[in-house]
Amino acid sequence: MSEKVKFEIRNVNLHYGDFHALKNVNMDIMENEITAFIGPSGCGKSTFLKTLNRMQDFEESARVDGTIKMDGTDIYKDMDGIALRHTVGMVFQQPNPFPKSVYDNVAYGPRIFGIKKKAQLDQIVERSLRQAAIWDELKDRLNKSALGLSGGQQQRLCIARALAVNPDVLLMDEPTSALDPISTSKIEDLAVELKKDYTIIMVTHNMQQAARISDRTAFFLLGEMVEYGPTAQLFANPSDPRTERYITGRFG
């Protein structure tokens, strides 16, 4: 297991207007690991994920307190949201390729950085698609619309699109909930492969998924982080009775 802390989260609270959505979250997320957030719907796990790349900035009523440091830098005080999202990529629940060609989807990020040279873009597109394990399927369809791909292909394309800007961290918000079992297992294999180079934080509804691929798991309930620890330990020997009841399926 990794020793280096990527995110240091201290006393994080989030309010939507009067609603207290995250209650005093404290945790360290490790580099080059897969960290899974599990918990019932509405428990705050996706909300928390979106504080890590400041997508919450777009929710008008959201207010975040506490400190989140990435590699020692406070991402709310000492970083710009846009610069942060260059480093912390995100894959969403619903595959959301742009209505453009496969190539233009992957090249989108590099282009907004000002990369214009065709040769350089070609190279980035191929590298990113290979990393997302979808190059062989798409190399002959680079100029076709991304909307014509299957759901699983679209999601891996979105992963390639996120990788094309060379992030350090990849946030995945229930990336397989809209996909069939075969596509799901491809994305899981991919996540395991990618953690060598990236830090992956994944929200999932699926406890087996967390158990299969994550190194550490955090269990959220009603806006509170109930328990956090190495995945094997959390599933085999949970220390909090609420965690135990959830993972044994006695409430949801």
Partner 1 sequence: MFKKEYAWRGIATIGGLIVIGLTLTIGVFLAYRGSATFFQFHHTLGEFLGSADWNPVDSAAGGGTVGALIFIVGSLVTCGLALLIATPLSLGAAVFMTQISPRIGEKFFRPVVQIFAGIPSVVYGWVGLSVLVPFMRVAFHQQVGQSILVAAIVLAVMIFPTITSMTADALTAVPKTNRDGAYGLGSTRWQTIYRVIIPAAKSGIITAIIMGLARAFGEALAVAMVIGQTTALPTSIFSTSKTITTEVAAQMGNAMEGGELKAALWTLSFLLFLISLFMIWLIHRVNAPKKED
- In whole angstroms, how close is the CB of 82 to partner 1 at the nearest point? 5
Of 10, 63, 82, 252, which one interacts with partner 1 (CB under 8 A)?
82
| Complex with partner 1: residue 172 or 211, whichever CB lies closer | 172
Query: Of the candidates 89, 152, 223, 238, which one interacts with partner 1 according to CB under 8 A?
Result: 89
CB nearer partner 1, residue 12 or residue 55: 55
User: Shortest Cβ distance from residue 1 to partner 1 (Å)?
Assistant: 28
Report the residue number, 84 or 226, with the smaller CB distance to partner 1: 84
Q: Which of 6, 45, 161, 186 binds partner 1 (CB under 8 A)?
A: 161
Selected from 20, 27, 67, 92, the binder of partner 1 by CB under 8 A is 92
CB of residue 141 to partner 1, shortest distance in Å = 10
Q: Of 55, 79, 159, 201, which lies in the binding site for partner 1, with binding defined by CB under 8 A? A: 55
Check: CB of residue 225 under 8 Å from CB of residue 219. yes
* 251 is a site residue for partner 1 (CB under 8 A): no
What is the SS3 string spanning the chain? CCCCEEEEEEEEEEEECCEEEEEEEEEEEECCCEEEEECCCCCCHHHHHHHCCCHHHHCCCEEEEEEEEECCEECCCCCCHHHHHHHEEEECCCCCCCCCEHHHHHHHHHHHCCCCCHHHHHHHHHHHHHHCCCHHHHCCCCCCEHHHCCHHHHHHHHHHHHHCCCCCEEEEECCCCCCCHHHHHHHHHHHHHHCCCCEEEEECCCHHHHHHHCCEEEEEECCEEEEEEEHHHHHHCCCCHHHHHHHCCCCC
Quote the least distance from Cβ 202 to partner 1, whole Å: 15
Q: If binding is defined by CB under 8 A, does position 165 make contact with partner 1? A: yes
Q: What is the contact surface with partner 1 in residues (CB under 8 A)? A: 53, 55, 58, 82-86, 89-90, 92, 94, 96-100, 108-109, 111-112, 144-145, 148, 158, 161-162, 165
